[in-house]
Structure 1
Amino acid sequence: MIKGIIYKEPGGVDVLTIVEMERPECKDNEVLIKVVASGVNKPDIFQRKGNYNAPAGVVQNILGLEVSGVIEECGKGVARWKVGDQVCALLAGGGYSSCVVVDENHCLPKPANLSFVEAASLPEVIFTVWHNLFQRGGLLNDDRILIHGGSGGIGVAAIQLASIFGHQVYVTAGNDDKCQKCIDLGATVAINYNTEDFEGILKSNKVDVILDSIGGSYFEKNINILRTDGRLIYINAVKGANVQLNIGKIMKERLTISGSTLRNRDAQFKADLANEIERNVWPKIEDGLYKPVIYKSFSYDNVAIAHQLMERGIHFGKIVLEW
């Protein structure tokens, strides 16, 4: 038997319950990981509240999109991994468990210089940032980047990766302390969105790429501060998905607006993305250029406290559960 954190119906943190479950079985192309740590992400909060269901075919009542741990079993068709390997992995759900099964191609080796807690904080944010900022955003050498929400897991990853690869990075964050921490991570300018207007600050010094999870009133401001051939990329729209679009301005400035979700992409897409990340990002981690930022870790039985902390929005970096 293994332990898992389930919820039977959407709701507040009180719906989260720790239970014993049957140990999952590996398919031919899967590995079974004894989980040491599970990352906590905003999509977990959305799903718990009933706003972000898992894709069809994925366990529906167990949250969790990323883990780290040790491989305990390999399916018959597994080629790369062996029992005892230390890995971190991207999941479409089910990560709040003491054991998980996952496609072998969605695993990456745990960097030797990181703890399991640090490694568990990597997959969801690195996969999201690499695909949206680097692949979808098509970064060029001299591109300037604006990242909204610089203090969250996605923001912290995006700041570091963009700056490591030589780009000027601008961010928005909710207070002066968070802004300073963004600058310490590599941001050129950090704008306190509660006291400053990012459009006013950047309108005379425009950017090439914007990574936005806010939507709503940010949309028009984003359009106004993009340079010609700029790219606006959405990974969420917490302040509203319905916006007014000036098609003429899009045409005149040759702007590109796109967005994506990672969770429902097919297995081969995630495998290809993992390969590209291992080639391009893992050496930066192993060299100490990219450093995970852990705000706090909790024992798995304090999952409700971890979710409450995530919802308060005071954290800088990642929140992790330990098993």
Structure 2
Amino acid sequence: MKALQGVEGRVEWADQPTPACDVGEIRIRVAAAGLNRADLLQCAGLYPPPPGASEVLGLECAGIVSEVGAGCDWKVGDRVCALLSGGGMAEEVVIDARHALPVPEGVLLHEAAALPEVYATAWLNLFQLAGLKPGEKVLLHAGASGVGSAAIQLCKAFGNPCWVSVGSAERLSYCEALGAQGGVLRGGDELHSLRDFGPFDVILDPVGGDYAALNLELLARDGRWLNIGLMGGRKAELDLALLLGKRIQLIGSTLRNRDDQFKADLMHDLLQHLWPLFAEGRLKPQLARSFAIEDAQEAFTALASNQINGKLVLLVDDSLS
């Protein structure tokens, strides 16, 4: 089979061994794969896959089940999307059958490739780890990103007013159209204008670095700060007296290196709590653009520009859509 790998900072669509399908696994003929910032980092040599995971890029995909291992409830021909530790940007991928979900009603197959990673991340952090309750206020840094776009919709669906920080007025308008109450542009002193909307009960932060001190200031008593990325750097100076005085919970969170059972439970939660909302039209894929797999390098460059609202998808097999 052919698959996409990062080679010296660039991507290469090349022949790779076809994986075997074992007990409890399914083989998916891939129609499309979602592109995430983790793929950029892996391609640059900064984010190796967990031990035992595929070296092939791609943390989510959608396609058609083509083989079913013993002990699985799926059938050949089922339309699925899947959360992966790697391997999605390939003609085929073999996964733990529990990490796949049916394509939501009303969602096209290539659109479904943009769902598993961002909705799993948003649900895990906001509702499982932070225990977000109806009415609590949320701040989403990088609100126009794939995770931010999913998180805004979840906040709206579950009764949580949310605000965002973004890079441009156009991106702020995009977030407001999805359901954000408002927000600010990053840069200079504009971030400090978030004080006008706070204090916040939960902050979802993929930036870290120099946002850290501001997060402490903006959080309410008993606030929860979920750090899910380091786009702004890995080091920060914190006023721990403020952390203690407000009883703030600082939670470092990743998804890719969670164990198989954790991911299976998480996907079950998505099926139960979120998938019906797609059928109702309350949640929608936020697909900015699709690229042919042969144009993968262009897609990676586009994502690295930080100008994309929502998600990018690589089309592996157009005939399946």
Q: TM-score, normalised by structure 2?
A: 0.96
SS for the counterpart of 1:281 is helix
Identity %: 38
- Please, which of 60, 71, 74 is the counterpart of residue 65 of structure 2? 71
Moved over 6 A (4+): none
User: 1:22: how far off?
Assistant: 3.5
Letter in 1 for 2:146: G
- Indicate whether 1:113 and 2:106 are aligned: yes
Count of residue pairs brought into register by the alignment:
316
Q: Could you tell me how far 1:5 is from its partner in structure 2?
A: 1.4
* Superposed displacement of residue 63, structure 1: 0.6
Aligned residue number for residue 132 of structure 2: 139
Contact 1:31 1:73 in 2 (8 A): yes
Distance in 1 between residues matched to 2:62 and 2:247, nearest whole Å? 42
Secondary structure in structure 1 of the residue aligned to 2:94: strand
1:244 is paired with a residue whose SS is: coil
1:88 maps to what in 2? 81
Matches of 1:195 and 1:247 in 2, distance apart?
A: 25
Matches of residues 165-176 of structure 1 in structure 2 within 5 Å? Answer: 165-176=158-169
- Residue type matched to 1:34 in 2? R
Q: Give the equivalent residue in structure 2 for 1:24.
A: 19
Query: Is residue 175–residue 194 contact of structure 1 (8 Å, CA) maintained in 2?
Result: no
Q: CA deviation at 1:205?
A: 3.1
SS in 1 for 2:238: coil
How far residue 312 of structure 1 moved from its aligned partner, in angstroms, is: 1.0
Is residue 2:151 matched to residue 1:153? no
Aligned to 1:4: 3
Q: Deviations over 1:127-146 (max 9, x none)?
A: 11111111111101221000
**Contact 2:104–2:112 (Cα < 8 Å) also in 1:** yes
Give me the whole-angstrom Cα distance separating, in 2, the residues matched to 1:259 and 1:181: 28
Q: 2:259 aligns with which of 259, 266, 272?
A: 266
Identify the match of residue 54 of structure 1 among 49, 52, 68.
Answer: 49
- 1:86 to partner: Cα distance: 0.4
RMSD of aligned residue pairs (Cα, Å): 1.2
Superposition TM-score, scaled by structure 1 size: 0.95
Which runs of structure 2 are paired with 1:1-323 in the superposition (5 Å)? 2-7=1-6, 9-11=7-9, 13=10, 16-60=11-55, 62-78=56-72, 80-194=73-187, 197-202=190-195, 205-323=198-316
Give ranges in structure 1 of 5+ residues lacking alignment: none
2: CA distance, partners of 1:23 / 1:201:
50
